[in-house]
Amino acid sequence: MTHDQRQALLDILRHAPLDIGGDIGEQRVIFHDMIASVPLPEDVSTNPGELGGVPVLTVETPHIDPSTVILYFHGGAYALGSAADGAGLAADVGRRAGARVISVDYRLAPESPYPAALNDAVAAYRALLDQGTPSAAIAFVGESAGGGLVAATLVAIKAAGLPQPSSATVFSPWADLTVSGGSAAGKAAVDPALTADGLGRRALDYLGDTDPATPLASPVFADLTGVAPLLVQVGSYEILLDDAVRLAARAAEHDIEVQLQVWPGLPHVFQGFAAMVDEADVALDAAAAFVKAHLGVEAAPAPAERV
């Protein structure tokens, strides 16, 4: 990656009109318009549907294996975005991994607070299993809040007695809704997109009176024993750096196969800028390789409880 590439990306994000903690209605429009300004490639097809009563968007590219599925969770601090808004990055992951993508259009806060998004994620996964797709043929991928939702969903499906997917990959996960990681302040000066105050406002929208340290809202505090192999990617120029590092450490503490990749000088969900930043392209290839390496592999049984 050249200095010019990184600087151009940081400048774009610093001057973007999005305010993550701003008025919900206004920011939803801005978020959508920013993403819609980059059209999907012509060979990407998107088809709306539903799984378990939850709206989803199937995203396909040529030469994929339709029997393998990436269940995708978009970002937006639990209040912004949609499956359609996340289709560009979802399609890029699916293309590289050679898999069909089903992006979950989970309900948003504040209209539908916690645990609505989590319930939708579990319902969509359960329905996919009920349709006959084996868990070994499914991978979870999520970005930002969707990354935190991936981790929370792994814990929730374990509690529900459902099999784990083959793997889980998260980009810049928002995994601590207490916003208490040291990078919330330590990286504030270099993060061009997020602020701790803004995330705090969105956390209140999502949680209401729920304790933000609730493990199924903030999976850095969860028991991750027995969850799927995990890949965590994060940029060093983001206030959620500690969320990613602590999530990976938590997985390691609970004997989970985990990889943590920290990309120096890059911002939140930099993978979405693979067309302009070389290292984003490399990161997506690494993520796709992780997904492909685990697809078709049955999850190992959870280890016995420690005494």
Active-site residues: which are they?
A: 144, 238, 268
Q: How far apart are CA 249 and CA 5, in angstroms?
A: 31
Going by the DSSP 8-state scheme, the letter that residue 44 receives in this structure is -
Q: Which helix (H) or strand (E) holds 283?
A: helix 278-294
**Amino acid letter, residue 284:** L
Rounded (10°) angle between helices 87-97 and 278-294: 60
**Nearest Cα to 71, choosing from 131, 130, 1, 128?**
128
Q: How far apart are CA 6 and CA 267, in angstroms?
A: 9
SS3 292: helix
Q: Is 140 exposed, middle or buried (0-12, 13-18, 19+ CB in 10 A)?
A: buried
